[in-house]
Amino acid sequence: MQRRGPVSGRIAAPDVERVELDVLCGQSDYISLHSPLTPGTRKLIDARRLALIKPNTIVVNTARLPHRLRYRLDFGKAGKL
């Protein structure tokens, strides 16, 4: 299994390959979101990034579920609900 994480200034875990968020969205089989909704994260996963997610990707969102993400998941445009 290959683990990926977004590029950031934080210390990386030794077994995590850091990639840009667009790459992560386009190549991941599972995406797990654990960010609070703040002005800095409000559009972290926007319509453009949702379009990058593969149809069979499983998205786990532990934050508030934005209407647009719910719509795309419900209608098979991104991942599964």
Structure tokens at 76: 């098979």
CA dihedral 35, 41, 47, 51 (to 10 degrees): -50
Domain assignment present for 79: no
When pLDDT is cut at 50, 70 and 90, the band that residue 81 belongs to is very low
The model carries a pTM of: 0.61
Q: pLDDT digits over 26-67, tens only?
A: 999 999 888 877 788 888 888 899 999 998 999 887 766 556
Q: How many domains does the chain have?
A: 1
Domain assignment present for 81: no
**pLDDT at residue number 41:** 83
- Find all residues with CB under 8 Å of 6, minimum gap 6, and list them: 18, 19, 20, 21, 24
Domain assignment present for 30: yes
Domain that holds residue 46: 4-74
**pLDDT at residue number 27:** 94
CATH number at residue 30: 3.40.50.720
